[in-house]
Amino acid sequence: MSRPYVTVIVVAHDGARWLDDTLRALAAQSRRPDRVAGVDNGSRDGSADLLSQTLGSGNVISLPRSTAFAESVAEALDRMPSRGPDEWIWLLHDDCAPDRRALEALLTAAADDPKAAVLGPKLRDWLDRRRLLEVGVTVGRTGRRDTGLEPREFDQGQHDGTREVLSVSTAGMLIRRDVWERAGGLDPFFPLFRDDLDLCWRVRNAGHKVVVVTSAVAWHAEAAARRRRRITVSGDHPRRLDRRNAIFVVMVNLPFRPMVWALLRNVLGSAFRTVLFVVSKQPANALDEMVAMGSILVHPFRLLRARRARRHGRTKGYPRIKRLMTPPGAAYRRLIDMVQSFLAGQAPVDSAGRHHHHHGSSEEDEVLPPPDSGAVKRFLSRPGVVLLLALTAISLVAERSLLGGERLGGGALVPVIGGAGDLWAFYTEDFHDVGLGSDAWAPPYVAVVAALSTLAFGKTWLAVSVLLLGSVPLAGATAYLATRHVIPAVPARAWAAGTYALLPVATGAIAAGRLGTAVVFVLLPVYASLATTLLTAERRRARRTAWTLGLLLAVGTAFVPLVYPMVAVLGALALAAARRNPAGRRGGRASRQARVGWADGVVVSMAIALLLPVGLLFPWLATLVADPGKLLLEAGLHDPALVDASPAPESLLSLSPGGPGLPPLWVTAGLLATALAALLMRRQRMIVAVGWGIALYGMLAAILVTRISVEGARAWPGVPLAFAGMGLVVLVGLTAHRLAELRARGGLRRLGATALVGVAFSTPLLAAGFWVATGIRGPLVAEAPDVLPALAASRTVHGERTLVIKGPEFTVLRGRTPLIGESELPVASEARRRVATAAQGLASGRGGDAATLAQHGIAMVAVAPPVAPELARTLDSQPSLQRMSLSEAGGLWRVIEPVTRVPAQPESALHKPWLWAQGALVLVAAVLAAPGRRESPQEAGEPARGAVLAGVS
């Protein structure tokens, strides 16, 4: 074999601080190159002089500062004639120093595999010489650059071996010159970033191999990618240029069908990332994302020309290239990582794999680990995941009678019908032509359900099922996450979350169809966590937390208004305690000034958290203030049969709110016994006092709620007892380590501690076992009967109404079963009184009242099953009524009197503007609540371990 001829091209641009080492490494190669050319792109730091001193002035080309890397290499090759088919081109950046045997190893690998036309070395970090940067590069269909390495992974030989890859970097790339010329070299369209990927893709389409040779090593500073020097090659911002090239290289090299799908994914992905950048307060990054995507869309002919130039071998070579690209599943993992980074307060990750920060700089590429068969196993073995899966399995088995139905309803939940569009129309309309008609504001929780239904592809039943039937696993998840800074021990956290999720409040709410209690039960741990952060974090984070707490408190108040005063009272008490003894504050004049400033900041943050729900719920909330008793009611129907008239004190003490579907008292006795035992502990008295204080506060509120009657029904004390249960659970979780200390001492203390542990675990185990064994025992069913008979619905197609009689109660429907929230609309008292009088007259046989019904648009009278024979005979005897049907499914009579059409009501002049104002306030609050850049631990101001709900540490 003839000896290969090697031409080295070194391109420099303001790289003097690395270039000297690069040239020394080149001169020390064990296999010396045959000729070397240097190209300087208008350097102002002495790079040109270094090249001339080392290579000779005759071997150095000077070009303008705006010259791209592709143009620099092309200019050097134009001045050096080809030396035949055995000539190789070795490309070096000014910040890439190869190992002494790098060129020798690359040429040896090329000789071993004649099909290898492009070879690249293993790249390590310039500063941390052990750290891996690249062992070949691949890409996803969104242009995301993946290296297949763990973040900050050290080189221990774990990736060694010569193998095919999709692409290698131009930093140290060795390529046959004839292949370079046939492929057209580097495309000048890519002045920086992704030019290597585009070239390697074209080389592979031509039938050649691209190989990484790990026995060849080079150290790379990545000065351009890490913004370690000024980039003058393009007028675009580097981040924008990188994103544009990422999309473009995929669009021009994929075959047509994959390209169309990739284009759609890029458009949607760019929109999603733009939203994340906006809400995380990074407008510059959002602008870069939009401009980069727009630069592709507004130049379709440029895209077509580039695709036409790459058409040869594109479809034929795609199957081999597809195997080397990032697997589709990784895109979904990255989407989850992006959202998690956003929620954790970190900068979102773009499709180039780089974190973006508010100051405009960029870190090095984030790398994607290779597929790991044990990753799923490790994920599923996490305590939080195990807890969530266990609670989900328990819920599915216990709720077996509710699964698979088409109309969930019963108890406090009206049968779930309609879709997201129906709920949005109901919430935004001025006059509600349902029942007897109402111009009142729709309950605001309707907007929350409508928003969740929209996310659930317009399916209201799915959103309600997740909120209600999934409340136990959701509550377990929120409790586990919310206590991560409060309860340090993971087993104690898991126990606390599982015990809280299985409290009788949760199972009773599901059995009775109490959607409001279920939502608040899930949110309570989040309230506690946010309140603790608000009271202990530094001002900027506390202010952001206040907006988050205000938004979520508005959601909970919309479902259960009682939540607001209960949280406000606890917030005021916690604020007073924190102002008296702020954590970490010392004496001295400066410290006193700091305390005053800190206290003022906490007051402002607390005011934001408590005033935001008032602004968001104001028109509806004002009607509750006018009738304070309604603050005790929650979303849904208010059936007196669902609430115990006077629950026993021991029932409330065991956290059982009464009503259907509740476990016996002995199920929660273990939690109460363990919490009582905590009173005997000499240490952590403040934690015990705060926990028991919250528990007693909830129990007293529950007693007060059960003593008040509202609209003929008593309020359900589920939410106050949820507060009490949360206090006891956190109290026991925080003192759990004391049991471990007692067990370590041996003797009777060990025996007593072991007994207490068994008593504590009895509550979640007994609750889960009882719930699974008995299932749902309550009025909630999977197939709720339609309130309006089908015959009545078919005969009232022009808006006529139907009077439905059920025992002593009645309701008026208009053509269909009411949507969620419609049955809670107040109606004019005079109209309701007249219809009630007419209905009572018909039922009693007095007669002469059908005309009143007709005047209010009522054309049908329906009787819910079972129909009493006396009532059927009475209605049959009325000359103004004509029987339509009578069976076990109910009875239906037609009103003979001509029905009066209910006139349309004029629109309110302030309704629509106020809705727009509410929407704007939600958007502003969401942006202010969104996490910004990642904070340091000192900035984050994490609460000290043991800080309980009141912020006491």
DSSP string, 716-753: P-HHHHHHHHHHHHHHHHHTHHHHHHHHHH-HHHHHHH
d(CA 357, CA 587): 37
39 pLDDT tier (thresholds 50, 70, 90): very high
Give the pLDDT of residue 152.
84
Q: Is the pLDDT of residue 938 over 70?
A: no
Give the pLDDT of residue 233.
74
Sign of CA dihedral 574, 578, 580, 583: positive
Q: Is the pLDDT of residue 799 over 80?
A: no
Q: Is the pLDDT of residue 330 over 90?
A: no
d(CA 695, CA 653): 10
d(CA 687, CA 733): 11
Q: Is the peptide bond between 866 and the residue preceding it cis, with omega within 30 degrees of 0? A: yes
d(CA 854, CA 800): 9
Give the pLDDT of residue 746.
66
Please give the share of the chain, as a percent, with pLDDT higher than 90. 41
Give the pairing of strands 145-146 and 713-714: unpaired
492 pLDDT tier (thresholds 50, 70, 90): confident
Q: What is the pLDDT of residues 703-734, one digit of tens each?
A: 888 888 776 667 889 999 999 999 999 888 88
Q: Is the pLDDT of residue 225 over 90?
A: no
Give the pLDDT of residue 795.
66
Helix (H) or strand (E) holding 521: helix 515-536
Lowest mean per-residue pLDDT among 181-190, 764-773, 863-872 = 863-872
943 pLDDT tier (thresholds 50, 70, 90): very low
Give the pLDDT of residue 384.
86
Q: Is the pLDDT of residue 129 over 70?
A: yes
Q: Which of 124-133, 362-371, 397-406, 615-624 has the highest mean pLDDT?
A: 124-133
Buried b (16+ CB within 10 A) or exposed e, 44-58: eebbbebbbebbeee
d(CA 739, CA 678): 10
Closest among 107, 117, 158, 108 to 135, alpha carbons compared = 158
891 pLDDT tier (thresholds 50, 70, 90): confident
User: Full-prediction pTM beyond 0.75?
Assistant: no
Cα–Cα–Cα angle for 455, 461, 462, rounded to 5 degrees: 45
367 pLDDT tier (thresholds 50, 70, 90): very low
- What residues have CB less than 8 Å from 921, skipping those under 6 apart? 612, 615, 616
Q: Is the pLDDT of residue 1 over 60?
A: no
In contact, 418 and 381? CB cutoff 8 Å: no
Give the pLDDT of residue 910.
80
Give the pLDDT of residue 132.
94
Give the pLDDT of residue 489.
81
